[in-house]
Amino acid sequence: MKEGVLGILNQQTDEKYLKISDLNNYIKAMFDENQFLKKIYLKGEISNFKNHTRGHLYFTLKDDTSRISAVMFYNNALSLDFQPEDGMNVLVEGRISCYPAQGTYQIYVEKMSKDGLGNLYIEYEKLKKKLALEGLFDEKYKKPIPKYPKKIGIITASTGAAIRDILSTIKRRYPICQTILFPSLVQGAYAAPEIVKQINKANEYDLDLLICGRGGGSIEDLWAFNEESVARAIFASKIPIISAVGHEVDFTIADFVADLRAPTPTGAAEMAVPTRVDVLNLIAEKKVRLQASIQNEVKKKMVQVNNIANRFVLKNPMSLYEIKEQKLDNLITQLLQSIKNTVEIKKGKLTLLESSFVLKNPLAMYEQKKQNLANMNLKMNNKMKEILKAAFHKQELYTNTLKLLNPLNILNKGYSLVECDGKIIKSSQEVSIQDEIIIKMSEGSLLATVKEKDIWKKN
């Protein structure tokens, strides 16, 4: 091994400084000649998985604290009986070597098998299922994306490729659109609360659209957009949101909740605004349609004008006058006839009145009314006499009844009433010896003192 490595260095000149490629080749040779590294067995979780168009698989293999880059070439990938994806736990067999062009070491995977799902992937699927059942992904809640937004908010890191790509794309395609950046952390433990805060803050502005996202990365890097709080903030937003997280192959919970999912931040900007050419073409199209509509309307009005101009009345205005004159004559004739008929009717009524008995004998009507009044007076007097007689009779009945019911009338038969202290005494038990009592008779009363009680019982 030592001789192989030294052979690489011996190919250099005697100069003090080495080329980087020579150093990387030296390190590669060290890896390749190490017997232990020629056959390595590792287990870990896949992240940042990429399937190259040529069939090669590129990904990161990681555990709780470390990670290593991995590549599986097409000829080895043919033996796989499953589709690798982010969050999947796998067992791999391969060799460790250095990639000289970048100076990085990696594992060249020859065999790979599944070893269960990673914790992050399990959390991802669990939350995805929960929110789907709640309806947060339903199309009926998706807000429409405006075709020609005037003001767009952008929630992403203030530095980095994502914000540069979004701003440059909007400026190039639709420069009249105003953009407002709501800077936020997009990676790490504090990213999710910051994103939620900025979404809520953006909703206080008069915006037509929001773009929320970041550039590519591993599943850990993108995890803030898989947080439940971020998903619910996106769903609650009154402003339509385009999710632009990672690359085209990356899918986060935010993508499913958002009103529109873009494959990349650049793609989000392209979806958000039209191009100047599109707008100019639309204006030109509208102009053509407007001109055609105006021409059609002018033609319709010209036809109406021609129809009016060709009317008989306009060509012969005197005919209209003659018609009105004739109509006036008819109205005058009808009026005169109506007056004549009314006069005849009134004359007939007057003749009847003149020939009536009343007008010829006015005193006879007076005598008749006088006799009627006398008859009514007689009837009224008789009726009043009957009413008064019945009333007097009732009064006499009521008076006799009251006399019969009056307890004082019994005194006329020799009975008397005894009172003590203003109370009528019904029993000897109600008074005591020496009590003063008043004895009321039919005529007068006596004041007496009780000397003895219940004399009859003693006898």
Are residues 180 and 104 located together in one domain of the fold? no
Q: Tell me the pairing of strands 88-99 and 40-51.
A: antiparallel
Residue-wise pLDDT for 99-123, tens only, equals 888 888 999 999 998 876 566 777 8
Q: How confident is the model at residue 124 (pLDDT cuts 50, 70, 90)?
A: confident
Looking up tokens 């010209």, which residue turns up?
Answer: 302
Q: What is the CATH number of the domain that holds 245?
A: 3.40.50.10550
Q: What percent of the chain has pLDDT over 90?
A: 40
Residue 48 main-chain phi, psi, to 5 deg: 55, 45
Residue 451 belongs to some domain of the structure: yes
Are residues 12 and 104 located together in one domain of the fold? yes
DSSP per residue, 309-330: HTSHHHH-HHHHHHHHHHHHHH
pLDDT of the residue at 274: 92
Residue 363 belongs to some domain of the structure: no
pLDDT of the residue at 396: 86
Are residues 110 and 137 located together in one domain of the fold? no
Are residues 145 and 257 located together in one domain of the fold? yes
Q: Tell me the pairing of strands 57-62 and 40-51.
A: antiparallel
Count of domains forming the chain: 3
pLDDT of the residue at 315: 66
The pTM is what?
A: 0.46
Poorest-confidence range of 8-17, 35-44, 282-291? 8-17
Q: Is the pLDDT of residue 164 over 60?
A: yes
Orientation angle between helical segments 228-236 and 119-134, nearest 10 degrees: 30
Q: What is the CATH number of the domain that holds 65?
A: 2.40.50.140
Q: Map residue 366 onto helix, strand or coil.
A: helix
**Neighbouring-strand partners of residue 106:** 69, 97
Query: Among the three residues 73, 98, 117, which one is the final residue of a domain in this structure?
Result: 117
Are residues 155 and 42 located together in one domain of the fold? no
The boundaries of the domain holding residue 437 are: 411-458
pLDDT of the residue at 172: 92
Are residues 220 and 267 located together in one domain of the fold? yes
Encoded tokens for 28:
């590669």
Query: Among the three residues 222, 250, 274, which one is the final residue of a domain in this structure?
Result: 274
Are residues 99 and 186 located together in one domain of the fold? no
Are residues 167 and 102 located together in one domain of the fold? no
Are residues 104 and 135 located together in one domain of the fold? no
From 108, 122, 143, 111, select the one nearest 32 (Cα to Cα).
108
pLDDT of the residue at 142: 95
Residue-wise pLDDT for 181-237, tens only, equals 999 999 988 999 999 999 999 999 999 999 999 988 777 788 999 999 999 999 999
Between CA 51 and CA 42 the distance in angstroms is 21
Q: How confident is the model at residue 367 (pLDDT cuts 50, 70, 90)?
A: confident
Q: Can you count the helices (H) and strands (E) in the chain? A: 15, 14
Query: Among the three residues 211, 243, 274, which one is the final residue of a domain in this structure?
Result: 274
Are residues 150 and 223 located together in one domain of the fold? yes
